[in-house]
């Protein structure tokens, strides 16, 4: 994959580094929060509640956040969100200088961080459209997915290692990551043009209404939401069956890491695949591949085979993310992009949040083999009924942005036009 967008677009590099830095900090503190709660005498429910509060806050505030992002300067929104998260997380190690943090304090920090992150997410999506030309969107999205996959792979291990050194160290790193992210965002030179709301485009639900009107894209979004649900259930089911078969945590950890390796490889390959294969071929191939692999798990669940197939499984998915992300950024009107991004995130993340509990219920009620069969059947059924929207998506690649409002560039332009422009 060419690194053209990274090499020629300084603003994208700054945005990517800001996203990488803040995501690393968040991944580090995700494992530190429950460990800290337990070290303070809290129980397992309290430890889990901290992460739940952050997740629920992000989901509940996602639509209002998208509406605000469409009205405000996205760069300023992201700067403010980073500063708020920096101040909130910083209070944990500061309080620890004089005594132990209180559980209610940790819940409050998780809630504030969740609210700020809900604003940061859709603002970051809009910013990508402001600083990356349409021709480079697929490559930019692929690089972004690879970075996120790398964070997901290394973040928890890094968080555990930092916590072992000092239980406040992960929170110091998390707070500093937001400060570094803010500095990088402040140095971005692109300023978005102001966009006025249009009749019928006002309100929190405008993004959802726009998505529903895009029939082919909306059905594909539903397909992707189900795949995300299955994906969220896979990790839990793998852990449960490996433990049921007597595997230790020293075996389970590396096996699950294979999924992260596959996601990184798939993200780097995604732009290349998107250029060479049709949208229906990619999405149908993902569905067929997932169905086959899940069916194999039902009949031959061996650690070495699970590690290999998890790598292949996660290599297939990033191409779909690039397709959907590119279509949304290219088709959605700029004045609605924040709300469209928020609605998309709510659809994809909201259903996926049910994956872990669904996996637990299936495993407890049916056992490992039948759980894999049920997940394979669900994936196969969604793929089989998807032939209508998959055929319709042939138009997505040829659809240009309907509302090409230019960004206003301050100081200097740095959008990285390629030689063939």
Domain ranges across the chain = 1-194, 203-403
Find the helix or strand (DSSP H, E) in which 61 lies.
none
Q: Retrieve residue 303's tokens.
A: 């650690």
CA 27-33-37 angle, to 5 degrees, is 165
Q: At what angle do helices 62-71 and 44-60 cross, to 10 degrees?
A: 40
Find the helix or strand (DSSP H, E) in which 409 lies.
strand 408-409
Q: How many C-beta neighbours within 10 Å does residue 179 have?
A: 17
Q: Name 279's Cβ contacts closer than 8 Å, sequence gap at least 6.
A: 323, 390, 393, 394, 396, 397
In tens, the pLDDT along 80-130 reads 999 999 999 999 999 999 888 888 999 999 899 888 988 888 888 778 877
Euclidean distance between CA atoms 154 and 193, whole angstroms: 37
Chain Cα centroid distance, residue 330: 19
Chain position carrying tokens 């085979």: 305
Q: At what angle do helices 337-352 and 215-244 cross, to 10 degrees?
A: 30
Chain position carrying tokens 């990274």: 6
Which CATH number fits the domain 1-194, given the four candidates 2.60.40.290, 1.10.645.10, 1.20.1250.20, 3.40.449.10? Answer: 1.20.1250.20
First CA to last CA across the chain, in angstroms? 19
In tens, the pLDDT along 261-289 reads 888 888 888 878 877 777 777 778 888 88
Strand partners, 409: 190
Residue predicted with more confidence, 5 or 59: 59
Q: At what angle do helices 169-186 and 137-165 cross, to 10 degrees?
A: 150
- Please classify residue 2 by burial: count the beta carbons closer than 10 Å to its beta carbon, then call 0-12 exposed, 13-18 middle and 19+ buried: exposed
pTM of the model: 0.69
- Per-chain mean pLDDT for the chain: 78
The answer to whether domain 1-194 and domain 203-403 are alike in fold is yes
**pLDDT at res. 402:** 42
Confidence of residue 408 (pLDDT cuts 50, 70, 90): very low
In tens, the pLDDT along 40-62 reads 887 766 776 777 777 778 888 88
Find the helix or strand (DSSP H, E) in which 63 lies.
helix 62-71
**CATH number of this structure's domain 203-403:** 1.20.1250.20
With pLDDT > 90 as the criterion, what percentage of the chain qualifies?
13
DSSP tally for the chain: helices H, then strands E: 18, 2
In tens, the pLDDT along 190-222 reads 665 555 445 456 677 777 788 878 777 777 788
Residue predicted with more confidence, 364 or 185: 185
In tens, the pLDDT along 151-176 reads 877 777 787 788 888 889 989 999 99
Q: Name 377's Cβ contacts closer than 8 Å, sequence gap at least 6.
A: none
Strand partners, 190: 409
Query: CA dihedral defined by 383, 60, 74, 67, rounded to 10 degrees?
Result: 90
């Amino acid at each position: 994959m060419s690194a053209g967008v990274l090499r020629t677009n300084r603003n994208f590099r700054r945005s990517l580094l800001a996203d990488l830095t803040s995501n690393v900090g968040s991944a580090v503190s995700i494992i530190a929060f429950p460990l800290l709660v337990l070290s303070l005498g809290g129980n397992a429910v309290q430890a889990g509640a901290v992460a739940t509060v952050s997740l629920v806050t992000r989901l509940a505030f996602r639509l209002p956040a998208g509406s605000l992002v469409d009205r405000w300067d996205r760069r300023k929104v992201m700067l403010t969100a980073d500063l708020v998260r920096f101040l909130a997380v910083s209070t944990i190690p500061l309080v620890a200088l004089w005594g132990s943090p209180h559980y209610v304090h940790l819940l409050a920090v998780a809630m504030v961080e969740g609210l700020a992150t809900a604003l940061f997410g859709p603002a970051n999506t809009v910013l990508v459209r402001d600083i990356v030309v349409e021709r480079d969107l697929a490559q930019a999205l692929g690089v972004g997915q690879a970075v996120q996959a790398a964070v997901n792979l290394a973040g928890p291990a890094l968080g555990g290692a930092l916590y072992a050194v000092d239980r406040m160290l992960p929170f110091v790193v998390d707070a500093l990551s937001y400060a570094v992210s803010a500095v990088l965002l402040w140095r971005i030179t692109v300023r978005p043009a102001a966009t006025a709301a249009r009749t019928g485009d006002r309100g929190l639900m405008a993004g959802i209404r726009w998505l529903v009107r895009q029939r082919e894209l909306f059905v594909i979004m539903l397909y992707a939401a189900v795949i995300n649900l299955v994906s969220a259930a896979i990790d839990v089911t793998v852990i449960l069956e490996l433990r049921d078969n007597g595997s230790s945590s020293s075996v389970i950890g590396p096996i699950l890491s294979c999924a992260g390796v596959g996601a990184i490889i798939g993200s780097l390959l995604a732009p290349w695949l998107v250029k060479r294969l049709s949208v229906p071929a990619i999405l149908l191939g993902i569905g067929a591949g997932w169905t086959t692999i899940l069916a194999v798990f039902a009949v031959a669940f061996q650690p070495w085979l699970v590690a290999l197939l998890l790598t292949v499984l996660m290599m297939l998915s990033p191409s779909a993310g690039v397709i959907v992300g590119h279509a949304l950024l290219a088709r959605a009107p700029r004045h609605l992009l924040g709300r469209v991004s928020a609605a998309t995130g709510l659809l994809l993340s909201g259903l996926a949040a049910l994956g872990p509990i669904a996996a637990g219920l299936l495993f407890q009620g049916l056992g490992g083999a039948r759980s894999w069969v049920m997940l394979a059947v669900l994936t196969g059924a969604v793929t089989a009924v998807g032939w209508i929207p998959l055929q319709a998506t042939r138009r997505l690649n040829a659809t240009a942005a309907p509302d090409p409002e230019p960004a206003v560039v301050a100081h200097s332009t740095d959008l990285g036009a390629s030689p063939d422009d």
